[in-house]
C-alpha cells in the first residue's frame, strides 16, 4: 500500500464506510433497546433475557474474524468486500423488519433474532475493512474517527425512534433502520468498487508473487499462529489491551445505573441518564484525538487517553455526587475516544500483509466483544468485595492493566528499526 491515495478519494470512501456503519449500527442500537421488551412478554427471568440478548456478542466472537478472513481471500471484479455487503445487508435488513412480526411466538422470535445476529455479524468486519483497504496508514485515524462519530450518532437515532415511534408504530420503528441499511448498501454497490483499492491491488501483487499457491486466502489458523509465535508480541499485546480496555469501558456503562442508585441515591431513570452527556463528549473528542495521533503518534495518544479515562474514574470516586459523576463520565468518554479511534488503526498497521486486513478487523472485534462479556462480570465481582462506593475505582484498576499492555507495545516498537506504528 502507498500513501498516494488521492485526498478526494480518502474523503469519499470515508463517507461511504461511515454511511454503511451508520446504517448497520442503527439497527443494532434499536435491537439492543427494543428487543428486550419483546422478550419480556414471554419471559420473566432477567437473566434469561440477558443471555438471549448476549447471543449476538457471542456469535460475533466466532463469526466476525472468520468472515473477515473469508473476505480477505475473495477475488471478484467488484473486489473482496462489496459482494458480501450486497448480499448480507439486505438479508439482515429483512430479518430485522421481521423481528416485531415474530414477537407473538417466543420460538419464532428467538429464531429471527438468531438469524439477524448471525447475518449482521457476518458483514460487520467486512464493511469496516473497506477503510484500511482504501486509506493509507498515516491517514486512517481521522477516517476511523469519522466512522466512530457516525456510529455514536446512531444511539441518538435509536433514542428518537424509541421516544416518538415505538409505542404507536412498533413495526414501522423497526422498518426505518432497515430502510437505511438497504439504501446504504445500494449506494455502496453503485459507487464503490474495492477492486480498485490500494490494499486489493497489493493483495493481487502478493498473489502473483506466489504463483504456486492454490488459493489467495491466508488461513485463519495461520494468521493466529503467526500472531502467537511472533517473538515481538506487539499484535498479541494490542489484542489483549483491546480486551482489557473493552472490559473497563463496558463495565463503566453497564453498571453505572446500579452505581447511581446504590451510591448516589438516584431513581432508576435518573441513574440511567448519568452517561447521556458523555455521548456528546465522545463525538466532540473523536476527530481531535485522531489528528493528535497522526501528529504525535498513535500509541502515545492511546496511552494518554487511557490515563485520562482512569483519572476520570478516580475523580468520580472522589466526588460521589450526580454532577461529579456526570463530569467524570464526560472526561472518561473523551479519553476513551483516543483508544477507540486509534487502536484498530494500530492493529491494521501492524498487519504483515494487505491480504489479512479483514481478518485483523475481526480479531479487534474478538478483543472488544470479549471485553464486553467479561468486563461487567469482572468489575461486578470486584464490587462484591469493595462495595458500590468504589465501583468507578474498580473500573480504573482494570484500565490500568490496559495501560500497562499498551506501554509494553510502545516499548517493543521503539526497539525495532521499523518500530514506528504509522
Report yes or no on 325 lying in a domain: yes
Q: How many residues does the chain have?
A: 422
Report yes or no on 1 lying in a domain: no
Span 69-86, average pLDDT: 88
CATH assignment at residue 347? 1.20.1250.20
Span 154-177, average pLDDT: 78
Give backbone dihedrals phi and psi of 168, rounded to 5 degrees, phi first.
Answer: -90, -30
Q: What is the pTM of this model?
A: 0.85
**Most confident among 184-193, 207-216, 306-315, 365-374 (mean pLDDT):** 306-315
393 CB-near residues (< 8 Å, 6+ apart) = 313, 314, 317, 386
> Which domain-ending residue is among 159, 184, 209?
209
Buried b (16+ CB within 10 A) or exposed e, 153-164: bbbebbeebbee
Tell me the C-alpha distance between 126 and 130, whole Å: 7
pLDDT for 2: 39
Please determine, for residue 7, whether its predicted confidence score (pLDDT) is greater than 80. Answer: no
Quick check: 28 and 161 in contact, CB under 8 A? no
Confidence of residue 56 (pLDDT cuts 50, 70, 90): confident
Give backbone dihedrals phi and psi of 418, rounded to 5 degrees, phi first.
Answer: -105, 30
Report yes or no on 78 lying in a domain: yes
Please determine, for residue 241, whether its predicted confidence score (pLDDT) is greater than 90. Answer: yes
Number of domains in the chain: 2
Report yes or no on 152 lying in a domain: yes
Same domain, 81 and 145: yes
Same domain, 279 and 228: yes
Same domain, 109 and 201: yes
Q: What is the dihedral of CA 56, 253, 19, 50, to 10 degrees?
A: 20
Q: Please, what is the Cα angle at 182 between 178 and 187, to 5 degrees?
A: 145
Same domain, 47 and 138: yes
Buried b (16+ CB within 10 A) or exposed e, 200-223: bebbeeebeeeeeeeebbbebeeb
Report yes or no on 2 lying in a domain: no
- Residues 375-395: tens digit of each pLDDT: 888 888 898 888 899 999 999
pLDDT for 254: 79
Give backbone dihedrals phi and psi of 353, rounded to 5 degrees, phi first.
Answer: -155, 150
Same domain, 155 and 228: no
Please determine, for residue 181, whether its predicted confidence score (pLDDT) is greater than 60. Answer: yes
Write out the E strands in 151-286.
none
> Which domain-ending residue is among 154, 189, 209?
209
pLDDT for 160: 75
Per the structure block, which three cell numbers stand in for 136? 493509507
Please determine, for residue 417, whether its predicted confidence score (pLDDT) is greater than 60. Answer: no
Same domain, 226 and 197: no
Tell me the C-alpha distance between 329 and 311, whole Å: 11
Please determine, for residue 8, whether its predicted confidence score (pLDDT) is greater than 70. Answer: no
Judged by phi (left if over 0) then psi (alpha if -120 to 50, else beta), residue 241 lies in alpha
Span 334-344, average pLDDT: 95
Report yes or no on 149 lying in a domain: yes
23 CB-near residues (< 8 Å, 6+ apart) = 89, 177, 180, 181, 183, 184, 185
CA 236, distance to chain mean position in Å, is 18
Q: Residue 292 is part of which domain span?
A: 220-414
> Which domain-ending residue is among 187, 209, 231?
209
Report yes or no on 422 lying in a domain: no
Tell me the C-alpha distance between 95 and 64, whole Å: 19
Same domain, 109 and 61: yes
Same domain, 154 and 195: yes
Bigger pLDDT: 195 vs 400: 400
Span 139-149, average pLDDT: 89
**How big, in percent rounded to 5, are the helix, strand and coil portions of the chain?**
85, 0, 15
pLDDT for 408: 93
Same domain, 121 and 246: no
Tell me the C-alpha distance between 212 and 198, whole Å: 23
Confidence of residue 302 (pLDDT cuts 50, 70, 90): very high
The terminus-to-terminus CA distance of the chain in angstroms comes to: 12
Same domain, 200 and 342: no
Query: Count H helices, E strands: the chain?
Result: 17, 0
Report yes or no on 215 lying in a domain: no
Amino acid at each position: 500500500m502507498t500513501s498516494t491515495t488521492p485526498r478526494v478519494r480518502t474523503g469519499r470512501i470515508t463517507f461511504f464506510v461511515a454511511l454503511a456503519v451508520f446504517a448497520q449500527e442503527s439497527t443494532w442500537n434499536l435491537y439492543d433497546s427494543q428487543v428486550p421488551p419483546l422478550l419480556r412478554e414471554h419471559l420473566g427471568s432477567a437473566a434469561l433475557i440477558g443471555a438471549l440478548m448476549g447471543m449476538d456478542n457471542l456469535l460475533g466472537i466466532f463469526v466476525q474474524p472468520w468472515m473477515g478472513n473469508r473476505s480477505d481471500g475473495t477475488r471478484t471484479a467488484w473486489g473482496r468486500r462489496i459482494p458480501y455487503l450486497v448480499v448480507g445487508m439486505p438479508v439482515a435488513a429483512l430479518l430485522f423488519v421481521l423481528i416485531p412480526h415474530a414477537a407473538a411466538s417466543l420460538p419464532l422470535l428467538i429464531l429471527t433474532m438468531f438469524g439477524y445476529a448471525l447475518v449482521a455479524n457476518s458483514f460487520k468486519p467486512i464493511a469496516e475493512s473497506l477503510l484500511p483497504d482504501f486509506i493509507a496508514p498515516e491517514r486512517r485515524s481521522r477516517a476511523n474517527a469519522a466512522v466512530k462519530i457516525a456510529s455514536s450518532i446512531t444511539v441518538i437515532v435509536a433514542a428518537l425512534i424509541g421516544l416518538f415511534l415505538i409505542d404507536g408504530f412498533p413495526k414501522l420503528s423497526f422498518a426505518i433502520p432497515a430502510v437505511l441499511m438497504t439504501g446504504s448498501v445500494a449506494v455502496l454497490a453503485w459507487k464503490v468498487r474495492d477492486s480498485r483499492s490500494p490494499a486489493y491491488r497489493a493483495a493481487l501483487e502478493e498473489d502473483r508473487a506466489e504463483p504456486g499457491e492454490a488459493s489467495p486466502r491466508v488461513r485463519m489458523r495461520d494468521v493466529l499462529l503467526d500472531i502467537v509465535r511472533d517473538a515481538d508480541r506487539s499484535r498479541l499485546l494490542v489484542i489483549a489491551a483491546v480486551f482489557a480496555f473493552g472490559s473497563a469501558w463496558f463495565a463503566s456503562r453497564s453498571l453505572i445505573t446500579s452505581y447511581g442508585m446504590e451510591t448516589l441515591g438516584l431513581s432508576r431513570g435518573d441513574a440511567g441518564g448519568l452517561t447521556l452527556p458523555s455521548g456528546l463528549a465522545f463525538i466532540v473528542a473523536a476527530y481531535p484525538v485522531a489528528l493528535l495521533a497522526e501528529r504525535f503518534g498513535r500509541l502515545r495518544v492511546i496511552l494518554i487517553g487511557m490515563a485520562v479515562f482512569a483519572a476520570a474514574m478516580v475523580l468520580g470516586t472522589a466526588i460521589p455526587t450526580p454532577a461529579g459523576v456526570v463530569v467524570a463520565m464526560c472526561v472518561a468518554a473523551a479519553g476513551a475516544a483516543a483508544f477507540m479511534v486509534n487502536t484498530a488503526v494500530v492493529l491494521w498497521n501492524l498487519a504483515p500483509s494487505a491480504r489479512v486486513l479483514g481478518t485483523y478487523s475481526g480479531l479487534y472485534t474478538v478483543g472488544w466483544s470479549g471485553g464486553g462479556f467479561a468486563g461487567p462480570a469482572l468489575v461486578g465481582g470486584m464490587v462484591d468485595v469493595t462495595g458500590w462506593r468504589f465501583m468507578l475505582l474498580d473500573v480504573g484498576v482494570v484500565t490500568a492493566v490496559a495501560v500497562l499492555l499498551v506501554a509494553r507495545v510502545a516499548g517493543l516498537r521503539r526497539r525495532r528499526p521499523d518500530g514506528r506504528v504509522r
